[in-house]
Structures are given as structure tokens and as C-alpha cells.
Amino acid sequence: MEQIKPDSRILVDIVQTKMPFGKYKGAFISDLPVSYLEWFKNKGFPPGKLGMMLSSVYEIKLNGLNSILTLVKTTLKGQGK
């Protein structure tokens, strides 16, 4: 079986990418409320990378792992990004 290696770059993308449309257009994907992410889960996440990022944030928040996103944001600020 092939080993799947997690791509930590996706977490950076999640905290740096803004929602391109909808009610929360312009908000960072990492800052979207769980209720909005649940709505997407029920309706279907959009295809491609955006859907994958939204789905990932949903799972992170649903499982109480927001500290991961906070750590990535803090690290990037420390690096001046």
C-alpha cells in the first residue's frame, strides 16, 4: 500500500486564502464559522482545491483542533508573511 504523506502547505494555504464568493466573501477560509462549513457539507463542497480546503477546515474545527490553525497563523506572522 502506498504511503500518503500529508502536505503541510495546505494549512498555509488555508490561513492565507480568502473565500472567493458567497456570504463570507473576502474572509479567510480558516476564519469561516462552522455553521457555514456545515452548510457546505450538506450542500456539497465545491470541486477542486477550494472544496478540499473547506472540507479540511470543517474537519479541523469539528474535531476541536483550531489550535493547529492558530499555530500556523502565528508561525507565518513570525516569519513576516
Cα(first)–Cα(last) distance of the chain, in Å? 37
Domain that holds residue 33: 21-73
10 falls within a domain: no
28 falls within a domain: yes
- State residue 8's pLDDT score: 77
Q: How many CA atoms lie within 13 A of 8 on its CB side?
A: 6
Asked whether the predicted pLDDT for residue 5 surpasses 70, the reply is no
For residues 49 and 1, the model is more confident at 49
Tell me if the pTM is above 0.75.
Answer: yes
Q: pLDDT tens digit string along 25-57?
A: 999 999 999 999 999 999 999 999 999 999 999
9 falls within a domain: no
Number of domains comprising the chain: 1
12 falls within a domain: no
Secondary structure (3-state) at 18: strand
15 falls within a domain: no
Q: pLDDT tens digit string along 8-17?
A: 799 999 999 9
